[in-house]
Amino acid sequence: MSIIDRHIDLFVNYVQVEKGLAAQTLESYSSDLSRYAVFLKENETTSFSEEDTYLILKHLINLRDEGLSPRSRARHLVTLRSFYRFLAKEKIIAKDPAKLIDFPKSGLRLPDTLSADDVAALIEAPDRTTHRGIRDAAMIEVLYASGLRVSELISLRMRDVNLDASFVRVFGKGSKERVIPMGSYARDKIQFYLQYGRPYLLKGKTSEYLFVAREDKPMTRQGFWKLLKRYAVKAGISKDISPHTLRHSFATHLLEGGADLRVVQTMLGHSDIATTQIYTHITRDHLKNMHIKYHPRG
């Protein structure tokens, strides 16, 4: 019996003996965890860990793609939360990774994402015969290519972008620095913007910020949000999207493509679910290779 199967059996025995749950509930728990165990084995995972948040999310995304209703996916999450809480209580894992995932009372709602085709249509929506359109196309591309928060995007400075190595350096929550690779699409759009967009928007002035709105003023969160909404309509996207939708799409597309979960955690800058050890053991070259291999626009 594998470690995964053994821990699942321990949990089922616990809820049966200690909790005295009804037979139907026990059957649901066993069924949900058996399905999760198959998913883990398909992802070459041999044990449970306090860093499993993204595994849980990926499993829920798979269930959604398989056609499970929000109510059924919510039931799976209830099972997983009970199970990981048990593992943490028994000190099998250091902390509970499932408690970071929440859902409304009406059922599980995963973050909205766009398909790769919708993202491509969104990026193509700006009129790149204009200086502002060139800037907007570059901003949308970088947001999706690197999974940035909108606050990180508008705060990018010229010195934070390395076009030769195709990296951007950002300072996320808590002023924590991380370096994220960009694909060739993003690099080329930034280069085009620096040549044909930014100098004309600056009108002879200087700015330390990469993306400028009026002369030397940086783009604001509200300003970019309005732009994105307008381009979504132009691209024929019916979803009510926000800048964070592109961040969710970035992570989802990488995971669906088979990217290592720890790499995605590092790129997103989720320090609350990624340990220091993860950050120190993933090199910049490895991040870049994973981005090129798994990102739709790498």
Whole-angstrom distance, CA of residue 154 vs CA of residue 152: 6
Dist. CA 216–CA 204, nearest whole Å: 9
Task: Please give the positions annotated as active site.
Answer: 149, 173, 244, 247, 270, 279
Angle between helices 261-268 and 284-294 (to 10 degrees): 110
